[in-house]
Chains A and B, each alone.
Chain A
Amino acid sequence: MSAAMLEIMAIAVVTAAGCAVVGTFLMLRRLAMLADAISHAILPGIVVAFFLTGNLSSPWLAIAAAATGVLTVALVEALTRTRRLREDAAMGLVFPALFSLGIVLIARQAGNVHLDVDAVLLGELAFAPFDRFAPGGVDLGPRHLWLMGGISLLDLLLVLVFYKELKLATFDPGLAASLGLAPVAIHYGLMTMVSLTAVGAFDAVGIVLVVALMVGPPAAAYLLTDRLGALLGLAVLLGTVAAALGLALATWLDASIAGCMAVGVGFVFLVVYLVAPGRGLLAELRRRRRQRWSFAEIMLTIHLLQHAGQPEEDDEARIDHLHGKHVGWTPDFTRTVVAGAVRRGLVVREGERLRLTDSGRVTAGRALSGSA
């Protein structure tokens, strides 16, 4: 791997890590889509700061964007408070308005300052190694690595320092407020960091796909753990893996880095969704299968119990009767259910007939009384 490639990889990884940290709290606050709104709405802030500084990696861009992001949240909340429209509609109004303002500003850009719409929308990570951070002529690596690394580090530090406050303000804002732990200030602090992270990340993945890095990794991590600390750690891990995978894919296909990183996030989520123990799809299917068999065995014991001691018992207890007119199972299904029930000692087989054991009677009785 070339040095430039390594630098790009480093930027992608720190971007994903920072996005995962703030994204975890957005998801837990059910504000995942606010990531999308903020990342779009910060565009005019970026454009204005870019016109003034002429530099896409200037810290002023980050500051202007953070201010625009917080303004977005405040506008959405102000609109929601009027009770004339709901939060999702308010978001749908505010962020396109600000975003399109940014687009118009780019189109009407002044003088010879040049800002490429594609670069803003989809990122330009491939060119990041050309913009060096070299104070006093000493090359310290790509400027963007320092910017994004700094933002992600700040995300992580703030979350660690305010961990307890963030947790309570997210889980129970009412209690947090009554204890004087300012949940509103925490909320706006978090939104500031989301905006800062979004502006840092837009260079890597562009405005359109920041939401993928903020929502995907925490959503995948949520399937793997039910502890907040582990959730944060796993979200960062999965985010960085997804970013690395995406970058590798982009190199291999010679395709858009932003697009491939989003695909990487989707792929990681899909894999976790399939194989997660407990909450994954495969685990769920296994559980349902088990339930289906055990339900069928209980049904069998109930069937035998209902007809026990009745004149028709002899007929009803025949195995071929089960897949005949009454129960309607297929012969294969019946064979497996009977074998399972025999193995568990619920019934005994006497030739072609089944007889309920004591344990089978208890099982049926419990199911009928509704406590099984």
Chain B
Amino acid sequence: MTDTPAAAVEVTDLTVAYRDRPALWDVDLEVPAGKLMAVMGPNGAGKTTLIKAILGLVRPAAGRVRIHGRPYAEQRRLVGYVPQRGSVDWDFPTTVLDVVMMGRYGTLGWLRRPGTRERELALAALVKVGMEDFTGRQIAQLSGGQQQRVFLARALMQDAQVYFMDEPFQGVDARTERAIVDLLKELRSLGRTVIVVHHDLQTVTEYFDWITLLNVRRIASGPVAEAFTAENLRLAYGGRVEFLQRQNPADPAPGDDEFLHGFGRIRP
């Protein structure tokens, strides 16, 4: 990889530790703008920690993060964030429209209230994710897929250059997954960068064009065609990749045929 200053996300020597247990160890990454990147690795590999450290939600022990060439704190307005769906209380007394408008709170800044303009933007975002019939709905009444669409609409409200999404496909139905993928590709076609914590090895080549494989340390990072190899998967997941159905991975190295009879599911 060349060191272009235009990289959407640049992470250098990032180390995060919880107490004395390292969650991320000396991770380097460089994601060019306009890429759709999967962050993958086994449980406890530090995928969520990576995103949280980039967004300043956990304090790194060492390392540097740049968003489009500058520290995150100066680039907040360029960044959109979709936390894990389970990280919030869906019994919170509020409506779908209200949650979506929260995506605008950063742009509004302190003290300014959302108004008509935010309302219109939120309605447009809800149309984009196919949730326009749910605007006044109490959020506790939504299904998992619908909750995820609401979170996505909220991220669209941020109108960001770089999106970080933590497991947006977790527990959603096939139709929602399709809708989310279409949306991610649309964002990419607009030149936005999207970084997604992902679990399903089967859909990597179909959904993404860039990938980072983590297991506390960075195993590989780059174009799917180069980095998503059997060898790297073995390094990231160890022996825990089950050989399921045949898969058509990028760049199958000779001699890997047996391994590449597919690596669909990961044993927890």
- Give A contacts to B, CB under 8 Å: 28, 30, 83, 161-165, 167-168, 170-172, 174-181, 222, 225-228, 230-231
Binds A, one of B39-47, B108-116, B193-201: B108-116
Question: 9 smallest A-B Cβ distances: which pairs?
Answer: A179-B106, A226-B138, A178-B81, A174-B83, A178-B55, A226-B93, A171-B92, A172-B88, A228-B93
List the A side residues contacting B2 at CB < 8 Å: none
Given contacts A165-B110, A226-B138, whether A174 and B57 have CB atoms under 8 Å apart is yes
Most buried by B among A83, A174, A175, A177: A175
Residue of A168, A171, A228 contacting most chain B CB atoms (<10 Å): A171
Q: Does B206 contact A (CB under 8 A)?
A: no
B87–A174 touching, CB < 8 Å: yes
Tell me which residues across on chain B come within 8 A of A175, comparing CB atoms: 81, 83, 102, 154
A interface, over-half SS: helix
Residues of chain B within 8 A (CB-CB) of A181 are: 105-106, 110
* Contacts A164-B108, A175-B83, A181-B110; A222 near B93 (Cβ below 8 A): yes
| Chain B residues in 8 Å Cβ range of A231 | 93
What are the residues of chain A within 8 A of B83 when measuring CB–CB? 172, 174-175
* With known contacts A179-B106, A226-B138, A171–B89 Cβ distance under 8 A: yes
Instruction: Assess the A171–B81 pair: CB atoms within 8 A.
Output: no
A163 to B89, CA, bound (A): 18
* C-alpha spacing A226/B52, complex, angstroms: 30
The 7 listed contacts between A and B (C-beta, < 8 Å) are A83-B19, A161-B111, A164-B108, A164-B111, A168-B102, A178-B106, A181-B105
B93 contacts A168, C-beta separation under 8 Å: no
The answer for the CA separation of A171 and B147 in the assembled complex, in Å, is: 14
Of the residues B55, B94, B154, contact of A227 by C-beta under 8 Å = B94
In chain B, positions 43-100 with a C-beta closer than 8 Å to chain A are 52, 55-57, 73, 76, 79, 81, 83, 87-89, 92-95, 99
Quote the shortest CB–CB distance from A177 to chain B (angstroms).
5
Known: A180-B76, A226-B93, A231-B93. A174 touches B81 (CB 8 A): yes
Chain A residues contacting B94 (CB-CB under 8 Å) are 167, 171, 226-228
**Distance between B98 CB and nearest chain A CB, rounded to angstroms:** 8
